[in-house]
Amino acid sequence: MAGRVVMKACSSYERASVERAVEELFEPLGGPGAFAGEGQSVFLKVNALLGAAPEKGVTTHPEVVRAVVRQFQSVTDRITIGDSPGGPFTAGYLKRVYEKTGFAEVARDTGAELSLDTSTTTVSISGGKVLKTIMICGAMHSADCLVSVAKFKTHMFLNMSGAIKNLFGSVPGANKFSYHSRFPRDSDFSDLIVDVLLASAPDLHVMDAVVAMDGNGPRVGNLIDMGMMAAGTDAFALDLAMMDVIGIEPEKNKALAAAIRRGLCQGDSRGLEMVGDEVGSLRYRGFRLPDKKDISERVPDFVMKRFGERMALRPVPVEGKCTACGKCVEICPAGAITIEGKLARVDQKKCQRCYCCHELCEQDAIELERPMLMKLMRMNRGI
């Protein structure tokens, strides 16, 4: 059953439709009892990137989370919903995010708990490529059963955010963003994402693609009606199957490409055991990847080592978009952002290039600019 992927059409977030689709996803996988026994603890690791309302399509839709909770309540009442969003990993910040995303309401309605646990634990990564150990959220690690409930979106660094990428949220708070500066090449960052998945080792993955996001995700892309959900026990197989649904070669999902390079999964969806609705009936045409063109991969290693810092993209607040709300000031781990008048300002000398502000600004008011050195190299090398 390891490579089995179940797919189901689901045209809206209307409660009965979602509950039926989730039940039909679970059934070919053995039902909730195949993953958790009576009285065991289940942690639903949702995508709660930031405190955005469900209709923004940035986070896992609460109706999907509610339906997964209902499934597990047939075997246990120890169910926790949680994530480690970007930003401070504090109970107060988590509460605010859970309220805005609708997860708090799901918890109130179903009796599930919300995770306000900010403990961390360091785990070793068997088969890790760029990391041998990593710090992850203690509550996710200690659950008897970890279930990832992901949102299908694009991602400017990795092209896609799916089953593999969702587990990056198991890295506590702003710690995850420091990896952007530590692994500036997308290929290394993709290996890191795979390492985190191996460290977290979820038991089950559920994918919310009823409304998905294409274009310049993961926060301000276009919302698209894909009208489907999927589930499986193998994140690589699930992401392979989803790439098949959108008709884009698997390697464009950079995390998946890293897994293929490392021999952790096959190179395409042929040979996967697909169950449920036919891929052909779910196919989404015209899916758009982010338009960011990565050029760091074409820069030689010695240049990256010597000038990497001077070639990193720089966060720049945009006048006219920035509302001076101050949220980026709150989340910046380097204390590099201040509000001056009606505009955020980034001290580029203090900036650690974590891109936390770019990823979390709800006004899309932080652009990433190429530094002059990169622009010159691009002109000279035609890249």
Q: Does 160 bind ligand SF4 (CB under 6 A)?
A: no
- Binds ligand SF4 by CB under 6 A, chosen from 149, 199, 279, 356: 356
Q: Phi then psi for 151, rounded to 5 degrees?
A: -110, 135
- Are the C-beta atoms of residues 67 and 19 closer than 8 Å to each other? yes
Q: Does 313 bind ligand SF4 (CB under 6 A)?
A: no
* Shortest distance (Å) from residue 361 CB to ligand SF4: 3
How many CA atoms, within 13 angstroms, populate the side-chain half-sphere of residue 260? Answer: 17
Distance CA 30, CA 47 (A): 24
* Shortest distance (Å) from residue 365 CB to ligand SF4: 4
* Shortest distance (Å) from residue 87 CB to ligand SF4: 10
Q: Could you give the 3-state DSSP secondary structure of residue 231?
A: strand
Distance CA 249, CA 218 (A): 20
Q: Does 156 bind ligand SF4 (CB under 6 A)?
A: no
User: Can you count the helices (H) and strands (E) in the chain?
Assistant: 15, 16
Which residue, 271 or 326, is less far from ligand SF4 as judged by CB? 326
- Are the C-beta atoms of residues 210 and 156 closer than 8 Å to each other? no
Q: Does 374 bind ligand SF4 (CB under 6 A)?
A: no
Q: If you search the block for the tokens 């710090």, which residue do you land on?
A: 135
Q: Kindly determine how many residues on this chain lie close enough to bind ligand SF4 according to the rule CB under 6 A.
A: 27
Which residue, 139 or 351, is less far from ligand SF4 as judged by CB? 351
Distance CA 112, CA 322 (A): 37
Q: If you search the block for the tokens 């995303």, which residue do you land on?
A: 101
* Residue 57 DSSP one-character state: S
Which residue, 32 or 290, is less far from ligand SF4 as judged by CB? 290
* Shortest distance (Å) from residue 264 CB to ligand SF4: 30
Q: Which of 178, 275, 161, 177 minimizes the C-alpha distance to 221? A: 161
Segment interacting with ligand SF4 (CB under 6 A) among 6-14, 137-145, 274-282, 363-371: 363-371
- Are the C-beta atoms of residues 21 and 71 closer than 8 Å to each other? no
- Binds ligand SF4 by CB under 6 A, chosen from 196, 366, 374, 377: 366
Q: Is residue 38 packed enough to be buried (19+ CB in 10 Å), middle (13-18) or exposed (0-12)? A: exposed
- Binds ligand SF4 by CB under 6 A, chosen from 94, 233, 315, 374: 315
- Binds ligand SF4 by CB under 6 A, chosen from 107, 196, 361, 377: 361
Q: Is residue 40 packed enough to be buried (19+ CB in 10 Å), middle (13-18) or exposed (0-12)? A: middle
Which residue, 215 or 333, is less far from ligand SF4 as judged by CB? 333
Which residue, 229 or 366, is less far from ligand SF4 as judged by CB? 366
The 321-340 site mask, x for binding ligand SF4 (CB under 6 A), equals -xxxxxxx---xxx-xx---
* Shortest distance (Å) from residue 354 CB to ligand SF4: 4
Which residue, 186 or 239, is less far from ligand SF4 as judged by CB? 186
Interface ranges with ligand SF4 (CB under 6 A) = 315, 317, 322-328, 332-334, 336-337, 344, 346, 351-357, 361, 363, 365-366
